[in-house]
Amino acid sequence: MNRKEQILELIAKGYNSVKTLAEHFGVSLMTIYRDVRELEREGKIIRRHGELLLKKEEEKQVQEIGVCAYCGKLSDKRLEFVYRLTGKTVYACCAHCGLLLFKELQGNEVQSCMTRDFISGNPINCFSAWYVVDSSAVPCCSPSAIAFGNKEDAEKFAKGFGGKVFDFESAVQVVEELMKRGQKVVFEVR
Rg, the chain, Cα only:
22
Residue from 21, 32, 90, 93 touching Zn ion (CB under 5 A): that is 93
Give φ, ψ of 169 to 5 degrees. -55, -50
Q: Residue 21: which of 49, 29, 46 has the closest Cα?
A: 29
Using CB under 5 A, which residues numbered 138 to 157 contact Zn ion? 140-141
Size of the site for Zn ion (CB under 5 A): 9
126 touches Zn ion (CB under 5 A)? no
105 touches Zn ion (CB under 5 A)? no
Beta carbon nearer to Zn ion, 52 or 100: 100
90 touches Zn ion (CB under 5 A)? no
Cα 99 to Cα 126: distance, rounded to the nearest angstrom: 9
Q: Residue 95: which of 111, 75, 122 has the closest Cα?
A: 75
Are 126 and 115 in contact by the 8 Å Cβ rule? The answer is yes
Residue from 7, 36, 90, 94 touching Zn ion (CB under 5 A): that is 94
Using CB under 5 A, which residues numbered 40 to 79 contact Zn ion? 68, 70-71, 73
Residue from 7, 18, 97, 129 touching Zn ion (CB under 5 A): that is 97
The stretches of 42-149 forming alpha helices (DSSP H) are 57-64, 95-104
Binding region for Zn ion (CB under 5 A): 68, 70-71, 73, 93-94, 97, 140-141
